[in-house]
């Protein structure tokens, strides 16, 4: 990327929140990934608006991320601008049974806020390691709940820097999908509609789900959560296990024996190891059962 683009970005984003050749292994839960040409941390949506408007005019490639919990970045990095929406845009406000949340807020923080205000409906997401923005992109869900069940509105910004308010219906939520990626929108803020509940019962449900996660998921290793989407009328983890792939590895990447739906970084994995293992698992499960598993993880860069 040429210096002229970098210099213009630095005019929009002040201080030390613009980095060149930033290693992406610092920003993904897999702890892998090569350098991004430019890495930008956003501190407000006015900055985001100016940045998107500028990038739209140049045609430069960019991608928006949260805390990188569902992201596999190529070892060769990313030739473009990575825009991080995290702590700088993470405000949470509660009014009666409505919670308004900026895109960078972690789901765990939203769950805690709901619990403190005795609001029920968000418990399922308490242990999901992502941000609200990412949850809108993929209609995040767990333990029988999905974002589509509790979202009443989402404010987004298009690639020209213009904002729009989308209803639940306009979000076109599907299984691990929404309209966000299709339209290249950036999530700014989400409004959740919850129900009044008993605070102790909400706490107990969160504790129960947290315990179940610790018992069944390999939380002690870097991963991106469930690696594959759930195939129709089946479970990815069961198909992988039945194909004899528990513990199967490529380099430092391994299919977790604890939960075969997770590919983990045992400590020395690079992104190519993880990608190679994903492809191998897909091929072997398809050969055994005729089911092509679809990755849930977003791939960024050249593999």
Q: How far apart, in Å, are the Cα atoms of 298 and each of 179, 181, 276?
A: 16, 11, 15
d(CA 213, CA 217): 5
Residue recorded with tokens 């308004």: 100
Query: Which listed residue (8, 170, 280, 296) is catalytic?
Result: 296
Mapping DSSP to helix (H, G, I), strand (E, B) and coil, where does residue 51 land?
helix
Given 226, 250, 254, 271, which residue is catalytic? Answer: 226
Question: Tokens standing for 84?
Answer: 């991080």
The Cα 156–Cα 271 span in angstroms is 31
Catalytic status, residue 176: yes
Active-site annotation holds for 283:
no
Instruction: Say whether 296 is catalytic.
Output: yes
Q: Which of 17, 50, 176, 284 is catalytic?
A: 176
- In whole angstroms, what is the distance from residue 93 CA to residue 72 CA? 32
Question: Which residue matches tokens 């996660």?
Answer: 213
Residue 193 CB neighbour total at 10 angstroms: 16
The residues annotated with a catalytic role in the active site are 176, 226, 296
């Amino acid at each position: 990327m040429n210096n002229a683009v970098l210099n213009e970005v630095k005019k929009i984003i002040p201080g030390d929140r613009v980095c060149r050749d930033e290693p992406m292994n610092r920003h993904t839960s897999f702890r892998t990934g090569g350098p991004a040409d430019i890495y930008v941390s956003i501190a407000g949506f006015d900055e985001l608006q100016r940045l998107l408007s500028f990038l739209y005019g140049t045609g430069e490639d960019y991608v928006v991320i949260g805390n990188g919990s569902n992201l596999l970045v190529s070892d060769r990095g990313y030739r473009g601008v990575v825009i991080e929406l995290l702590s700088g845009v993470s405000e949470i406000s509660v009014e009666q049974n409505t919670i308004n949340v900026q895109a960078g807020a972690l789901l765990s923080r939203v769950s805690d806020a709901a619990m403190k205000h005795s609001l029920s409906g968000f418990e399922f997401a308490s242990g999901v390691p992502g941000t609200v923005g990412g949850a809108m992109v993929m209609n995040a869900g767990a333990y029988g709940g999905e974002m589509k069940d509790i979202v009443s509105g989402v404010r987004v910004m298009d690639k020209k820097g213009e904002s729009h308010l989308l209803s639940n219906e306009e979000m076109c939520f599907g299984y691990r999908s929404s309209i966000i990626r299709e339209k290249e929108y950036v999530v700014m803020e989400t409004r959740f509609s919850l129900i009044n509940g008993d605070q102790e019962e909400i706490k107990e449900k969160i504790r129960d789900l947290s315990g179940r996660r610790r018992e069944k998921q390999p939380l002690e290793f870097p991963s991106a959560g469930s690696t594959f989407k759930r195939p129709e009328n089946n479970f990815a983890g069961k198909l992988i296990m039945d194909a004899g792939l528990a513990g199967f590895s490529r380099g430092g990447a391994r299919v977790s024996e604890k939960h075969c739906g997770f590919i983990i970084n045992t400590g020395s994995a690079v992104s190519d190891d993880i990608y190679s293992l994903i492809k191998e698992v897909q091929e072997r499960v398809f050969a055994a059962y005729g089911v092509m598993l679809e990755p849930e993880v977003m791939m960024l860069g050249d593999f």
